[in-house]
Amino acid sequence: MAQETKLTDHHCLKHVFKEKACSQLLLNILLKNKKLTVESSKTEYSLKNRGYRSVRLDIIAKDDKNNIYNVEVQNLTNGASPERARYYSSSIDVHNLPPKADFKALPTSYVIFITGDKWKKNLPLYPVERIVTNLGIPFDDRAHILYVNNNYVGNDDIGKLMNDFRCTKPEKMHFSVLADALRRFKGDDKNMGKTLELVRKISRNEGFEEGRQYGETQGEIRGKEVGAQESTLKDIRSLMETCNWTAQEAMKALKINFEDQKKYLMLL
């Protein structure tokens, strides 16, 4: 399971792109700006909008000029709708303008979707900008949206980067910064190795006590059927807590069939 992991898998992405060097390489290439210097990088970062829909960003980074970059990885293009890009951009604005500040204090922002070939033109990048339509000149609101074709194949830097996103073997990746980060996630370091061993034990129904210490308190067992269900729920929670996985990722690792996954999602 671990050996099949790649950068487009969210449980991997959220660990790799916490590293500033990885986010900086990503942005340097996608924005074709090697002078861009990342000062901070966070993953699975929540923006709470009281009374309205909140969002959780895959990657949010800030550079030394206070520009903000949000990168979303959506393997299916229907998860990267124009409306979603619009809402993420506006949410970033709301959370980065202090009360009573002048609107010009808004930072320059980029919302970047790495997804399929959205417009099916086999281009690597699709920049989206507002314009004054009857003049054909930029509106210049400094809010930028970029779609990246993760199916793109080429010998340029973007082609090499997309290869690395699809690649499961670090030794076949082009960029050593990403290859080293993926290698660490796959378990080359001692701590991740222990975590992955725990995952393997749980998926074989072994190491019950090791997994139990990470799980939530086991509910009262009523009969064999309920007991088995509670045990599975505990294993799901253990993986979610230990590996920082979503429920779906944990259930996939435990090889729970699709119909049962619906049941367990309601019980978690």
Q: Are residues 194 and 182 in the same domain?
A: no
Predicted confidence pLDDT, tens digits, the chain (268 residues) = 556 889 998 889 999 999 999 999 999 999 999 999 999 999 999 999 889 999 999 999 999 999 999 999 998 888 899 999 999 999 999 999 999 999 999 999 999 999 999 999 999 999 999 999 999 999 999 999 999 999 999 999 999 999 999 999 999 999 999 999 999 998 754 445 555 555 556 555 544 544 454 444 344 434 556 667 777 887 888 777 666 678 888 888 788 888 888 888 888 7
The enclosing H or E element of 138 equals: strand 137-138
Q: Are residues 127 and 10 in the same domain?
A: yes
The enclosing H or E element of 110 equals: strand 109-115
Amino acid at residue number 81? S
Q: Are residues 121 and 239 in the same domain?
A: no
C-alpha dihedral sign at 210, 43, 90, 116: negative
Q: Are residues 21 and 118 in the same domain?
A: yes
Q: Are residues 142 and 47 in the same domain?
A: yes
Amino acid at residue number 17? F
Q: Are residues 78 and 104 in the same domain?
A: yes
Instruction: For residue range 211-243, list pLDDT tens digits in order.
Output: 454 444 344 434 556 667 777 887 888 777 666
**Domain total for the chain?**
2
Rg (CA), the chain: 21
Domain limits for position 157? 2-187
Phi/psi of residue 39, nearest 5 degrees: -95, -30
Amino acid at residue number 165? F
Q: How far is the C-alpha of 203 from the C-alpha of 245, rounded, in Å?
A: 14
Q: Are residues 52 and 172 in the same domain?
A: yes
